Amino acid sequence: MSTATILRRLFTTTITLAVPVAFVVACAASAGTPSSPSGSPADGPHPDTMAEPGNCNYFNYYHDESKNPAGASKCATDCDCDGMRSCKAGLCDGEPRPNIDCDSPKHRWNEAWNPQGPGKCSTDCDCDGRRTCVWPPLKQRAGVAAGTCEGVAR
């Protein structure tokens, strides 16, 4: 066997073994990754809404406070609290979804989380702020499952 063949086999064997070893080492290292107070990885999306960390100040942000690591309604960040509630002195405070008009500029709604799809709606309440839900004309609605949020976004 030539030196080149031996080196090629040695290199192939080393790569073949190195990739699984590197994968196992990476997985073992991530097992101890710190998580946020809500139990999701610190840099990953929130488990309830798939919101990015810190992106939870919306009326349609649903979070089961009873699943918080510290206990029901106990928090470390606003994202540990449901809806528009905020974390004050380690406890969730405020109304989760205060009763305000959907056309109010204070109506903060994340349209990306709508069940119909991002920017899709069934009423004005599915749109952020002063955006409205617009449906195609009645004769063109065949097969249309949702309207579209239109207007100036925040």
* Cβ partners under 8 Å of residue 150, min gap 6: 127, 131, 132, 133, 134
CA distances from 141 to 68, 126, 149 (A): 43, 19, 16
pLDDT band of residue 32 (cuts 50, 70, 90) is very low
pLDDT band of residue 4 (cuts 50, 70, 90) is low
Give pLDDT tens digits for 44-101. 666 656 667 677 888 888 889 999 999 999 999 999 999 889 999 999 999 888 777 8
Give pLDDT tens digits for 17-30. 443 434 333 333 33
The structure's pTM equals 0.55
Measured distance CA(59)–CA(64) in Å, rounded: 14
**Domain coordinates of the chain in residue numbers?**
1-32, 37-99, 111-150
Q: Work out the average pLDDT over 111-116.
A: 90
Q: What is the 3-state secondary structure (H, E, C) of 110-128?
A: CHHHCCCCCCEECCHHHCC
Q: Which residues in 29-111 belong to E strands, given as ranges?
A: 86-88, 91-93
